[in-house]
Amino acid sequence: MRRGISGSFVGLLFFFSAAWCASYHLTPEGTDEGDCSAAAPCATLGRVTELLGAQDTLYVLAGADAASWLDGLFDAGELATSRYGGLVLQDSTERRQVCGFVRLATTWGTHLKPNFPSAARAIPNLVDAFNAQTRISASVGAHLFIGSPGFFRSPFVYITAATAFEMTESEIKGLGRYLREGGFVFADNGLSAFEHSQTEAAMRHLFRAALGRAGRLRRIPDNHPIYHCFYDFDGPPPGLDEATQSYYLEGIFLNGRLVGVFADQGYVHSWAQSFGNEPQLRFGINAVVFALTQPGSISPKIHFFTRHSE
């Protein structure tokens, strides 16, 4: 059952990222027949998302008696338009007060075909964890192909493999564009039990191929927000094979923004298990929440503020 949004909400801001901006308005008294301006406010996000562009601002105005309207407004079915692969609403003062929706899928390519058993179960299990533990409604998307329109709309891209692979030139260019324009890649080595394998080399190379010199991996510090954006971790949880686990994650940073993670822990196998994998699933939640909420993400965000009635 979906949990309601508590508190008395007076205003919300909807932020995007581009060179120009416009202002739109929502209110319980509005209609969807207007242009969502201050003089003719609208009543549903479905109408507004037809008009919103990058870096536009959405003002949501509601009094203390509009709790049920707000709950309906932020229903996942209302938010899940085809324009976005994810959208979040986050309390600016409380990191765990985050809701919205996200579609998660495993990435495929011309030569990247993660058809091993764990890859088939990992994302569905992570989606179940999201729906049980958070207010973000998650769903399993179809295979996400590098360079497809859906690929560029997805704020979180999951890449895993248990065999070596190569990317085509168009896929390399598409991945580089995706990372530079606000995307986030979680590359998960499905053959982590073998050090210096060809699979590991392929996972590492995909960042260098896409970003050149900027694609060099470096250690992510344990105090980085990816470890604290939802659940708190002292570092990455171990993978399934503790004998060869890596005690840190490596990442790619562009202008200070973490755009890619290489996990040599084999989380794909942990996520695929039916039990005993709570730390790994919780870290998966962190990774997705981080991708959705970090500055510069391609995911639209609503930052909301609560004020008690006087």
pLDDT confidence of residue 67: 65
The three-state (H, E, C) secondary structure of 232-264, written as one string: CCCCCCCCCCHHHCCCCCEEEEECCEEEEEEEC
Can you tell me the distance from the alpha carbon of 106 to that of 113, in angstroms, rounded to the nearest whole number? 10
Residue 309's pLDDT band (boundaries 50, 70, 90)?
A: very low
Query: What tens digit of pLDDT does each residue of 211-245 get?
Result: 999 999 999 999 999 999 999 999 999 987 654 55
Q: How far is CA 1 from the centre of its chain?
A: 22
pLDDT confidence of residue 306: 37
Output the pTM of the full model: 0.80
Can you tell me the distance from the alpha carbon of 245 to that of 58, in angstroms, rounded to the nearest whole number? 45
Nearest Cα to Cα of residue 187 among 244, 264, 256, 257: 264
State what percent of residues in the chain have pLDDT above 70: 77
Lowest mean pLDDT of 58-62, 166-170, 265-269, 279-283, name the range: 58-62
The domains of the chain, with CATH numbers, are 9-99+299-306 (no CATH), 101-293 (3.40.50.12140)
How is residue 306 written in tokens?
Answer: 């609560």
Q: What is the DSSP string of 84-147?
A: -SEEEEEETT-TT-EEEEEEE-BEE-SS----SHHHHHHHHHHHHHHHHHSEEEEEEPPPEETT
Q: Which pairs with CB-CB distance under 8 Å and at least 24 residues apart come from 112-118?
A: 112/146, 112/159, 112/161, 112/165, 112/167, 113/165, 114/159, 114/160, 114/161, 114/162, 114/190, 116/162, 116/190, 117/272, 118/162, 118/190, 118/268, 118/269, 118/271, 118/272
Residues in a beta bridge with 47: none
Lowest mean pLDDT of 68-82, 177-191, 289-303, name the range: 68-82
3-state secondary structure of 23: strand
Burial of 134 (0-12, 13-18, 19+ CB in 10 A): buried
Residue 300's pLDDT band (boundaries 50, 70, 90)?
A: low
Residue 90's pLDDT band (boundaries 50, 70, 90)?
A: low
